[in-house]
Amino acid sequence: MTDFPEGFRWGVATSSYQIEGAVDADGRGPSIWDAFGAVPGAVAGGDTGAVACDHYHRMPEDVALLGELGVDAYRFSVAWPRVLPTGEGRVEQRGLDFYRRLCEELLGRGIEPFLTLYHWDLPQALEERGGWRVRDTALRFVDYALVVQEALGDLVSKWTTFNEPYVSSIVGYGEGRHAPGAREGHGSLAAAHHLLVAHGLAVREMRSRRPDHQFGIVLNQSPSVPVTSSPADVAAARRHDLLLRRQFTDPLFATRYPEDYAETFAGVTDASFRLEGDLGVISQPLDYVGINYYYRQHVADAPHRDPDPATRTSIDIGIDTSRLPDVPRTAMGWPVEPEGLTETLVGLKERYPDLPPVYVTENGCVYPDRPGFDDHERVEFVSRHLAAARDAMEAGVDLRGYFVWSFLDNFEWAHGYKPRFGLVHVDYETLVRTPRASFHWYRDLVAGQRTRSGRVAR
Ligand code: PNW
């Protein structure tokens, strides 16, 4: 492995609903994922996050494992319904205390907390008032963010507002594959916008209280590649790129709405959720942007499924993303294309010259387990993506760190527990944690890189 620069951050990532379990502990309120998990057929195997990895009760053991891994950064999320059980009003101190203890344990082992405020577990009470379709939820988010900053601001200085607003809005309110399971056009596009407004308002308020803190957002990004060079497929790939990326990145990093938005969503939305001044709020200067990269998107032109724009969902934009290239795939069925990470990072920098520094905040894979947890495919996957990240740095991208998804096997949303992304295997019967071969490999890699930077630093 080529060397990374001194100070490059090495981490692993998780999220609250995917690992914590303990959904009724210490006054936690229900989230949209608790409600969604109760809908028959919504999650594979009827799995729910009720127990998950029971991280809420096993946190010190898990942080000890992070210490063994030797990472210097841990990306996790705070569950809004643990802090404000109904999304607003009464603060649940026991929920905050858990995250305080987590941060103290991390710092005690020299691991910096990279805290995400929202990784998809909206308090159900707010969903019942419209969820992200309504602007009021953005205001409630700001209040929540300030409660957490006030409680943990002496321990945490890296604050990510949202993980993948695309998934919260378009997969949750458009495709319906995620909570809250809605299939809407206008509603899901309103959700996308309100998430961005919530981000901008929260950054503005949090920064005014703690100018010394660092603020960012995490976006899932990947190139949208047309399956042929025909004008129809090229246009389809551009529509897909708008849906997945530019409806978020243009407002965030260029203070504009994409010029092809109205045409792509004609009849689906009139964008009446946009208010005067929103772009100025959304485009707050950021200290970093996190990129989650898994695979490239391959897009072909296709007919709309619903001929009537008025009843169409936002994902029904005349595209087919099922035509995958003839390359090896992971057990998720995702094509392995590390060069897509280089293209993503370099492409972002080209489109947005003022892009803030970047972290790869998620990257990882699933393969079937074999006896002894010798997951050499994962080792190869991560090392090839690290090489691709290095290529992007050579090309001028200011990349500051890399986080493997994930530290532990966990609740993989609508897929339930079957896909295992962890460097650490979790036995869901006994909850015993067993490091895989990739854990030991990553530990050695990180140790080598950190010793090297240590030596350079002295
Ligand atoms: C990420 N989808 O994104 C998430 O941030 C993690 O929580 C998740 O476990 C990881 O990827 C692996 O899937 C996703 O469209 C992005 O279904 C998109 C989807 C799911 C997860």
Contact status, residue 324 vs residue 296, Cβ threshold 8 Å? no
β-strands 214-220, 288-292 pairing: parallel
How does residue 452 score in pLDDT terms, banded at 50, 70 and 90? confident
Contact status, residue 9 vs residue 401, Cβ threshold 8 Å? yes
Amino acid code (one letter) for 68 = E
Closest C-alpha to 74, from 50, 105, 53, 51: 105
Q: Is 412 annotated among the ligand-binding residues?
A: yes
Q: CA dihedral defined by 172, 167, 333, 376, rounded to 10 degrees?
A: -130
Among all residues, which ones are annotated catalytic?
164, 362
Closest C-alpha to 144, from 202, 93, 194: 202
Our mutation pick for probing the ligand 1 site, out of 167, 171, 411, counting the most ligand atoms within 8 A of Cβ, is: 167
Q: What is the CATH number of domain 9-457?
A: 3.20.20.80
| 457 pLDDT higher than 90 | no
What is the mean pLDDT of the segment spanning 98-118? 99
- Between helix 247-254 and helix 339-351 the angle, nearest 10°, is 40
Cα(146) to centroid of ligand 1, in Å?
26
pLDDT of 286? 99
Cα(199) to centroid of ligand 1, in Å?
20
Cα(355) to centroid of ligand 1, in Å?
23
Note the pLDDT tens digit of each residue in 52-85: 999 999 999 999 999 999 999 999 999 999 999 9
Rounded Cα distance, 54 and 6, in Å? 36
Atom of ligand 1 nearest to the CA of 164: 5
Residue 370 burial (C-beta neighbours within 10 Å; 0-12, 13-18, 19+): exposed
| 345 pLDDT higher than 80 | yes
Compute and round to an integer the Cα radius of gyration of the chain. 21
pLDDT of 450? 85
Rounded Cα distance, 105 and 84, in Å? 23
Q: Is 425 annotated among the ligand-binding residues?
A: no
Rounded Cα distance, 161 and 141, in Å? 9
Strand partners, 13: 75, 405
Closest C-alpha to 82, from 35, 31, 29: 29
What is the mean pLDDT of the segment spanning 317-339? 98
Residue 124 burial (C-beta neighbours within 10 Å; 0-12, 13-18, 19+): buried
Our mutation pick for probing the ligand 1 site, out of 219, 220, 222, counting the most ligand atoms within 8 A of Cβ, is: 220
Rounded Cα distance, 254 and 75, in Å? 27
Rounded Cα distance, 394 and 5, in Å? 11
Q: Ligand 1: list residues with CB < 6 Å.
A: 15, 18, 163-164, 167, 171, 177, 220, 292, 362, 405, 412-413, 421
| 249 pLDDT higher than 80 | yes
Write down the domain spans for the chain.
9-457
Rounded Cα distance, 312 and 304, in Å? 9
Contact status, residue 242 vs residue 264, Cβ threshold 8 Å? yes
Cα(291) to centroid of ligand 1, in Å?
12
Note the pLDDT tens digit of each residue in 168-213: 999 999 999 999 999 999 999 999 999 999 999 999 999 999 999 9
Note the pLDDT tens digit of each residue in 410-444: 999 999 999 999 999 999 999 999 999 999 999 99
ipTM of the complex: 0.92
pLDDT of 2? 74
| 454 pLDDT higher than 70 | no
Locate 286 and state its tokens: 């950021």
User: Torsions phi, psi of 289, nearest 5?
Assistant: -125, 135
Over the chain, what is the mean pLDDT? Answer: 97
| 351 pLDDT higher than 70 | yes
β-strands 297-301, 319-320 pairing: antiparallel
Nearest CA to ligand 1 atom 8: 412
What lies within 8 Å, CB to CB, of 118 at 6+ separation is 77, 80, 141, 161, 162, 163, 168
Note the pLDDT tens digit of each residue in 286-297: 999 999 999 999
Nearest CA to ligand 1 atom 9: 412
Q: Flag whether the pTM goes above 0.80.
A: yes
What is the mean pLDDT of the segment spanning 290-306? 98
| 446 pLDDT higher than 90 | yes
SS3 128: coil
Rounded Cα distance, 353 and 370, in Å? 45
**What residue ranges in 111-234 does DSSP mark as E strands?**
112-118, 158-163, 214-220, 224-226
Residue 454 CB coordination number (10 Å): 10
How does residue 458 score in pLDDT terms, banded at 50, 70 and 90? very low
pLDDT of 456? 40
What is the mean pLDDT of the segment spanning 252-265? 98
DSSP letter string, 248-271? HHHHHHHSS--TTHHHHTTTT---
SS3 244: helix
Cα(409) to centroid of ligand 1, in Å?
13
How does residue 453 score in pLDDT terms, banded at 50, 70 and 90? low
Q: Is 220 annotated among the ligand-binding residues?
A: no
Our mutation pick for probing the ligand 1 site, out of 19, 43, 334, 362, counting the most ligand atoms within 8 A of Cβ, is: 362
